[in-house]
Amino acid sequence: MSRTIKEIMAISPIVPVMVINNVEHAVPLAHALVKGGLKVLEITLRTPAALESIRRIRAEVPDAIVGAGTIINIETLNKAIDAGAEFIVSPGTTDKMIDAALATGVPLLPGIANPSQAMNLLEKGITEMKFFPAEAAGGVPMLKSIGAPIPQISFCPTGGVSQKNVKEYYNLSNVACVGGSWMCAASLVDAEDWDEITRLSIEAIVLATG
């Protein structure tokens, strides 16, 4: 049964933002994250391994919900959907790309950085958005400011979120989940330290919700 983006955002408090350079790391990385309680995974389309990584995780890690990030145009949108992405995430928006994404019916989490962009998406019926780049775009104070006049929008702040500030973001009333990458840092993945990735995933949930 297909899920809405709102339902997907409610599954885990933190969405790992994954940059996969070696496709052989995709499945063990996904298993490590899921084992740590992080089931919603965003694989960024920043490397040649990304699309095949989505395919493999979909096939071999049934408990994971795999999405594609860095969707910046219709070409990357179509490639991600063809690879089996269960949701799509964009760093920003264009009307052409957003309209095409909505037409696919695949759950969409589009990125915004200010109230005007949020209002433009709200006019299209979109109420779940990525706030990116979170820290550079004003961080927690900006999200509070947007939430006051536009309380119907829920966000997933991503970009600069860390172990130090994840709780501050997650505690906001208009934040449904938080995107982060520290639990799947390149150094850990390259070292194939899956146990540490699981430990950091468990810790991340505690940091956000505890």
Q: What is the pLDDT of residues 113-166, one digit of tens each?
A: 999 999 999 999 999 999 999 999 999 999 999 999 999 999 999 999 999 999
Q: What is the pLDDT of residues 144-154, one digit of tens each?
A: 999 999 999 99
The residue behind tokens 């699981």 is 198
pLDDT of residue 1: 56
DSSP H or E segment with residue 199: helix 194-209
Active site residues: 42, 130
Q: What is the pLDDT of residues 44-92, one digit of tens each?
A: 999 999 999 999 999 999 999 999 999 999 999 999 999 999 999 999 9
CB 58 within 8 A of CB 81: no
> How far is the C-alpha of 187 from the C-alpha of 193, rounded, in Å?
9
> How far is the C-alpha of 169 from the C-alpha of 21, rounded, in Å?
29
pLDDT of residue 48: 98
> How far is the C-alpha of 186 from the C-alpha of 60, rounded, in Å?
22
Class of domain 5-209: alpha beta
CB 36 within 8 A of CB 201: yes
Longest dimension (CA), the chain: 46
